[in-house]
Amino acid sequence: MSTEIRKVGVVGIGLMGSGIAQVAATRGFPTVVADVTEEIVKRGTERIRESLQRLAESHEKSGGKSGIPPQEKEKILTRLETTTERAKLLDCDILIEAIMEREGPKIELISSMAELGYRGLFVSNTSSISITRLAAVYPNPEKFMGMHFMNPVPLQPGCELIRGFLTSDETFETVTSFCRELGKEPIFAEDKAGFGINRMFVPFLIEAVKVVEEGIMSCEDADKTTLCLGHRMGPISTLDYVGLDTTLAIAEVLEHDLGPGYKAPDLLYKLVAAGFYGVKSSKGFYLWDKGKKLGINPAVARYRRK
Ligand SMILES: NC(=O)c1ccc[n+]([C@@H]2O[C@H](COP(=O)([O-])OP(=O)(O)OC[C@H]3O[C@@H](n4cnc5c(N)ncnc54)[C@H](O)[C@@H]3O)[C@@H](O)[C@H]2O)c1
């Protein structure tokens, strides 16, 4: 374990925060994970339990080639502490922010941790927002940078590391080593909207929505297209997994920082306004039940017939 980082704090126990906390605890770090309500914390903890259970089953099925040994499951859970109190994060050596993809709430969180007296390493899992702008509200911007994990965190091998304008060499090196200690391959990027990955990937997802919106393809056919590229999951299903609210937020950052060519289509705005966020709300382009696809969302099918 790293000499500099012994205890990890994660803020947000949603899709990403739960995965990040799970990976940190799996790699031996005592980990505190905070969110806003007991109910959300309970749901996030359940997601971690289910993920560990799947990994334990995969270990058994693969004869130990993948997953985690079943006896590890409970040990990992004992390294995890959950809370709704931000003050419980103060003795962590690094804070990983994984709350909603909106600049206002992220800035409020970073400032409030500083007001509580936190001065350690601080990283943001933002998909697109300027690391330099977020670091500007932290009293030690040299200790701030981007650490953009991929979804689902326990399975994806890469993590994009983004240096802010003022990130120090020391922070950059410590976070790079920490990334490797979490078993993730660092992918380096500079601080510009969407960094490298979402600068390429989100416009692709957005074009897929336009292909459906313009009646060029059904969701199912748009999803089949990437089989030709060797990707089993197509762009429309991927959108449901990433979260339509999160994708829209990223598209808005790209549009704001890079120009109107990145504007999200009307269909995406309508789905988010209707509360259809994808797998996490059981409705997106498709209808979902506990991660199982049930069929196309009738609201999308009706919209396409217009
Ligand atoms: N979904 C993806 O595929 C993906 C991939 C990489 C990075 N990200 C980034 O990770 C971050 C989180 O995304 P997600 O998909 O986990 O979203 P999510 O909606 O699943 O979870 C966000 C969580 O943050 C919590 N939260 C909101 N405000 C908070 C606050 N002030 N304090 C504490 N908790 C708060 C919410 O209650 C929720 O549990 C975003 O910045 C997103 O861009 C997402």
CB 277 within 8 A of CB 284: yes
Active site residue 50: no
Cβ 35 under 6 angstroms from ligand 1: yes
Which residues, listed in sequence order, are joined to residue 288 by a DSSP beta bridge?
293
pLDDT single digits (tens) 233-278: 999 999 999 999 999 999 999 999 999 999 999 999 999 999 999 9
CA–CA dist 179, 55 (Å, integer): 21
Residues 108, 100: Cα–Cα separation, whole Å: 12
Instruction: State in Å: Cα 65 to ligand 1 middle.
Output: 31
Q: Is the pLDDT of residue 223 over 90?
A: yes
* Distance in angstroms (rounded) separating the CA atoms of residues 73 and 58: 13
* Cβ count near 267 (within 10 Å): 19
Q: Where are the domains of the chain?
A: 8-189, 198-301
Beta strand 144-149 with 158-163: parallel, antiparallel or unpaired?
antiparallel
Give the bridge partners for 31, in sequence order. 8, 80
Class of domain 8-189: alpha beta
Query: Are the beta carbons of 7 and 79 closer than 8 angstroms?
Result: no
Task: Give the pTM.
Answer: 0.95
Residue 46 and residue 165: Cα distance in Å, rounded?
38
Nearest residue to 110 via CA among 150, 145, 151: 145
* 198-301 maps to CATH 1.10.10.1100: no
**What are 60-71's pLDDT values in tens digits?**
999 999 999 999
Query: Ligand 1 pocket, 253 CB below 6 A?
Result: no
Which of the four pLDDT bands, split at 50, 70 and 90, describes residue 1?
low
The mean pLDDT value for 215-231 works out to: 93
Contact 102, 75 (CB under 8 A): no
Q: Which of 246, 247, 276, 279 to mutate to test the pocket of ligand 1 (most atoms within 8 A of CB)?
A: 246
DSSP codes, 206-261: HHHHHHHHTTSS-HHHHHHGGGGGT-SS-HHHHHHHH-HHHHHHHHHHHHHHH-GG
Ligand 1 and 105: CB distance under 6 A: yes
The answer to whether the CB of 264 falls within 8 A of the CB of 212 is: no
CB 252 within 8 A of CB 259: no
The verdict on the CB of residue 112 being under 6 Å from ligand 1 is no
